[in-house]
Amino acid sequence: MNIETLFNGRKIIPVVTIERMEDCERIFGGLSDGGLLAAEVCFRTECAEEAIRYARKTYPKMLVGAGTVIDGGQCRRALGAGAQFIVSPGLSEDVALLSAQADVPYLPGTVTPTGIMRALALGIDRIKFFPACNFGGLAGIKSLSAAFPQVRFMPTGGVDQENLTDYLAYPKIFACGGTWMTRGSREEISQKSREALALAASIKK
């Protein structure tokens, strides 16, 4: 399945880092309270697997994926924990293969035409554009789209409340990833999530 199909209209994917399991309720709960029913859980912390299991069990309406998956070993563990999608900062052919075998959507990152061509050769046409802010931002995506009209992007890295609507208004961008709504108290997270959803809803494509 295409990751955009899985996202089912979700335009904002919170990138969540869980350092300690006691943060799960505050963060996943805050996102859920605010209506942001998606989380890309960074697979770099000790408790990332447990956090994915927790979120899947506690917030069954939330779409829970693993982010920062950099090799096949991490991908296997993320799939085992129940990750519903896999995201990498770059493109790993091992991760692409394992995700495809598990029928779980894989969103690789790439910022270069060569990377996009490798993704397309693997049958992947949804791309994470990371770190967006250092590779031209929206202008960078527009340039790449001129050569690759069949590709749709999810920029991550430097996306925030200020530029979210600019990114989402561009038709080749199917979603944005960001961390700005994942910090603070549960109430603050909930509030920022609501504001982010309102911004996304304000766009008339």
Catalytic residues, by residue number, are: 40, 128
* Bridge partners (DSSP) listed for residue 110: none
Strands 106-107 and 86-87: parallel
DSSP 43-70: TTSTTHHHHHHHHHHH-TTSEEEEES--
Nearest to 77 by CA among 54, 97, 93, 99: 99
Binding region for a copy of itself (CB under 8 A) out of 20-28, 57-65, 115-123, 163-171:
115-123
Of 19-27, 125-133, 168-176, 181-189, the window that binds a copy of itself (rule: CB under 8 A) is 125-133
Minimum CB–partner distance for residue 187 and a copy of itself (Å): 26
Q: Which of 44, 76, 186, 194 binds a copy of itself (CB under 8 A)?
A: 44
Question: Is 135 a binder of a copy of itself (CB under 8 A)?
Answer: yes
Phi, psi of 130 (to 5 degrees): -140, 140
**Pairwise CA distance, residues 129 & 173, whole Å:** 10
Point out which span in 19-27, 33-41, 68-76, 98-106 binds a copy of itself (CB under 8 A): 68-76
Q: Return left, alpha or beta for 54; rule: phi > 0 is left, psi -120 to 50 is alpha, else beta.
A: alpha
Question: Which member of 85, 130, 153, 167 binds a copy of itself (CB under 8 A)?
Answer: 130
**Footprint of a copy of itself on this chain (CB under 8 A)?**
44, 68, 70-71, 88-92, 108-118, 120-121, 130-131, 133-136, 139-140, 143-144, 146-149, 157-158
